[in-house]
Amino acid sequence: MSISIDHFEDDVHKLILERGQEYFDARQVLMLKQTSDGWTAVIEGQETYQVLLEGHDVITTWHCTCPFEHGPVCKHVAAVLYAVRENINANRAASSGDIDRWIDEAEPDTLRRLLKIEVRKNDDVKTSVFHEMRNL
Beta bridge partners of 3: 59
Q: What is the pLDDT of residue 75?
A: 95
* 85-113: average pLDDT: 93
Task: Report the relative pairing of strands 38-44 and 48-54 from DSSP bridges.
Answer: antiparallel
pLDDT at 100: 93
- Give the global pTM: 0.82
Q: How far apart are CA 8 and CA 47, in angstroms?
A: 25
Number of H helices, E strands in the chain: 5, 6
Tell me: the pLDDT tens digits for 30-68?
A: 999 999 999 999 999 889 999 999 998 899 999 999 998
Give the separation between CA 40 and CA 28, rounded to whole angstroms: 14
Q: For the chain, what percent of residues have pLDDT higher than 90? A: 80
Alpha helices in 97-122 (DSSP H): 98-105, 108-121
Mean pLDDT of 109-118: 92
Say what the pLDDT of residue 121 is: 84
Q: State residue 40's pLDDT score.
A: 96
